[in-house]
Chain A
Amino acid sequence: MATLTTHPDCVPLVSYRFGKGATNIDKYIQLQGYEAARKCLTLGPEAIIAEMKASNLRGRGGAGFPTGLKWSFVPKQSAKPKYVLVNGDESEPATCKDRLIFEHDPHAVIEGTIIAALSVQAKMGFIYLRGEYRYLLQIMEKAVADAYAKGFLGKNIFGSGIDFDVVTQTGAGAYEVGEESALMESLEGKRGIPRIRPPFPAVVGLYGGPTIINNAETIATVPHIFRIGAATYAKLGTERNGGTRLFCLSGHVNRPGVYELPMGYNLKKMIYEVGGGIPSGKKLKAVVPGGSSTPVLTADEIDIGMDFDQVGKAGSMLGSGGVVILDETTCIVEFALRTMKFYRHESCGWCIPCREGTDWLEKSLIRLHAGGAVDKDIDNIRYLAENMLGRTFCPLGDAAAMPTIAFVQKFRREFEDHLNGKGCPYHHAAEPEPALV
């Protein structure tokens, strides 16, 4: 149902089997499937982790932490069982890439999970999809059953004497559960409330055992690293940013879609060449480069390479790969408000700065957008957002605050244009001001 979009600059690595019928396990095997897992069985844990480190693969969920390093933090000896947890709770607005992986190449997720397990000698893995992706759960469940039937999962996998079980399930609608510690709570049958860290999941994770937790795209990339070799993989990208990633283009762009491009690919080129530019010859106003939580870039800040370090240097984040393109007709205040409405809805309420901060920021932005604000309200918005930063158990508070600060900083003029009863100059229907309780 969801398909990959291609462009001559695309490098089909993670998407190598998309559209080739690889949900069928025999087809997957024909396309070099499960060769990486067999290879890793002979390599052993240390060599697997060394290869992962050499690949320069960094977490595709948003934070960009080096995957091999993360795996190396899991202690060799543990009294409690170790686990692998695949985070397919893809919920960051503007992100729709993991969906393609589950739909087209479910066995790559299973194979990546097996390799992660071999690297730390875990005996059980979980693949957790977001609740809205029910049709993908059916695909994943069949793939898991087929892998069991072939002896790739269960007792004595690939005749190696090693046991490994995989359970797959969905959540039930909660952005917060995409956060690693909240995801573990959810998988334990509880409300998705974040845990304090340290200890990190690598030491105390699911059911209290050491846990590898990675984004679904990260895990699905792993077999390809062993298929083509870590050095070759690393070379596809830029320094310290190995490989390719699935970028999701959305918003005001002629050819929205999910494209697999090398890490470090130029953002301007991505919008104008890969995405075909802005519809109806309109001008670009801004770009949100990595999902709704990443600080906005203005039209003259987009001549940058899309890797974690270069986007970081430009003052934003590569995040989840969701690139949102805003043309000149977009009201930044309305966009900031819609973003905040989301975070207010999704705040789990556990930490006061996030629970109260998102609520007050939404109210302030509604009032500002409707024209009911005065000059000092703009500074108040920024002050509120700045006071949420770093003061919560999980990154949701930061995710709400960071883009807000950037909107005010970079588009203050647009905020001012709404003040003192003027309302929205873009003539969008303003939402009614909420009744104060």
Chain B
Amino acid sequence: MTTLFSPALAARFDKLVTLYPVKRSALVPMLLYAQDEVGCLSDAVIAEVAQRIGISESDVRSVISYYSLLRTHPAGKYNVQVCTNISCMLRGGNEILEHCKKKLGIPNKGVTPDGVFSLEEVECIGACSWAPAAQVNYDFHENLTPDSIDKVLDGYRAKAASGSKK
């Protein structure tokens, strides 16, 4: 079949559907990996995933809409997710979020015009004992202060400018 995905990812998907007693169990991991490579779950991605699993596109969409990490529209290259749940709130999580809004010039769920950053207020990310915390894509940044989150964001901006992928 013609595929939207890289040969490596397509091969991974071919294997993934054989691991479980039912093919459909591969759906959530497949959507995550597809999103990591393509950037978001576009109509074309949804169509191909539906075909690979053998379910309808609307079934796939119904699953996507349930999970907070899955998205049908692109986020920034670096998606900054700031936790403001109880443990982070008690140690300044809201202030970190406000600081990021100002620094990046975007509101919650916004994307910078150059597409480098997006910002999201998120629920507990499992870093409660090292609060306040944020995740940039899948990387954790903990025990944050306004100064340290500045350095984190500057680091990603420099990476984006140098054209590095990660």
Partner of A172, one of B25, B28, B86: B28
Distance of A169 from chain B, by nearest CB (Å): 5
Q: In this complex, which of B22, B24, B29, B139 has the most chain A Cβ atoms within 10 angstroms of its Cβ?
A: B29
Q: Which of A123-154 contact B (CB under 8 A)?
A: 124, 130-135
Q: How many Cβ-Cβ contacts under 8 Å join chain A to chain B?
A: 141
In contact, B123 and A250 (Cβ under 8 angstroms)? no
Partner of B126, one of A132, A256, A288, A330: A132
Pick out which of these stretches binds chain B: A67-75, A90-98, A105-113, A227-235. A90-98
Residue total for A at the interface (Cβ-Cβ under 8 A): 57
Partner of B128, one of A95, A326, A338: A95
Answer whether residue B7 sits at the interface, using C-beta atoms and an 8 A cutoff.
no
Answer whether residue A170 sits at the interface, using C-beta atoms and an 8 A cutoff.
yes
In contact, B21 and A124 (Cβ under 8 angstroms)? yes
Pick out which of these stretches binds chain B: A18-26, A47-55, A303-311, A342-350. A342-350
In contact, B129 and A249 (Cβ under 8 angstroms)? yes
Contacts of B67 in A (CB 8 A): 131, 171-174, 192
In contact, A346 and B25 (Cβ under 8 angstroms)? no
Q: Which of A342-365 contact B (CB under 8 A)?
A: 342, 345-346, 348
In contact, B29 and A170 (Cβ under 8 angstroms)? yes
In contact, A345 and B129 (Cβ under 8 angstroms)? no
CA A330 to CA B87, docked complex, whole Å: 12
In contact, A189 and B22 (Cβ under 8 angstroms)? yes
Answer whether residue B84 sits at the interface, using C-beta atoms and an 8 A cutoff.
yes
| A192 closest partner in B (C-beta) | B66
Q: In this complex, which of A135, A188, A207 has the most chain B Cβ atoms within 10 angstroms of its Cβ?
A: A188
Distance of B68 from chain A, by nearest CB (Å): 4
Contacts of A63 in B (CB 8 A): none
Partner of B66, one of A5, A124, A174: A174
Answer whether residue A58 sits at the interface, using C-beta atoms and an 8 A cutoff.
no
Contacts of A132 in B (CB 8 A): 69, 125-126, 135, 138
Known: A92-B124, A189-B27. A256 touches B130 (CB 8 A): yes
| B53 closest partner in A (C-beta) | A189
Answer whether residue B85 sits at the interface, using C-beta atoms and an 8 A cutoff.
yes
Contacts of B138 in A (CB 8 A): 132, 134-135
In contact, A258 and B129 (Cβ under 8 angstroms)? yes
Answer whether residue A2 sits at the interface, using C-beta atoms and an 8 A cutoff.
yes
Q: 1/0 per residue B22-53: CB within 8 Å of A?
A: 10111111011000000000000000000001
Q: 1/0 per residue A78-121: CB within 8 Å of B?
A: 00010000000011111110110000000000000000000000
Contacts of B28 in A (CB 8 A): 169-172, 186, 189
Contacts of A133 in B (CB 8 A): 126
CA A250 to CA B84, docked complex, whole Å: 13
Residue total for B at the interface (Cβ-Cβ under 8 A): 40
Contacts of B31 in A (CB 8 A): 172
Partner of B87, one of A2, A135, A186, A251: A251
In contact, B69 and A2 (Cβ under 8 angstroms)? no
Distance of B56 from chain A, by nearest CB (Å): 13
Contacts of A95 in B (CB 8 A): 124, 126, 128
Distance of B89 from chain A, by nearest CB (Å): 5
Answer whether residue A191 sits at the interface, using C-beta atoms and an 8 A cutoff.
yes
| B65 closest partner in A (C-beta) | A191
Answer whether residue A292 sits at the interface, using C-beta atoms and an 8 A cutoff.
yes
Answer whether residue A34 sits at the interface, using C-beta atoms and an 8 A cutoff.
no
> What would 16 more interface pairs be, CB under 8 Å, given A173-B67, A342-B123?
A2-B127, A91-B123, A91-B126, A93-B87, A93-B124, A95-B124, A96-B127, A131-B67, A132-B138, A188-B24, A191-B62, A192-B67, A250-B129, A252-B91, A256-B130, A342-B124
Seen from chain A, the residues whose Cβ lies within 8 Å of a Cβ on chain B are 1-2, 5, 81, 90-96, 98-99, 124, 130-135, 167, 169-175, 186-192, 207, 248-252, 256-258, 288, 292, 322, 324, 326, 330, 335, 338-339, 342, 345-346, 348
Seen from chain B, the residues whose Cβ lies within 8 Å of a Cβ on chain A are 19-22, 24-29, 31-32, 53, 62-63, 66-70, 84-87, 89-91, 123-131, 135, 138-140
Q: 15 A-B contacts, Cβ less than 8 Å apart?
A: A1-B140, A93-B124, A131-B32, A174-B68, A175-B123, A186-B28, A189-B27, A192-B67, A207-B22, A250-B90, A250-B91, A251-B90, A256-B130, A324-B90, A348-B66
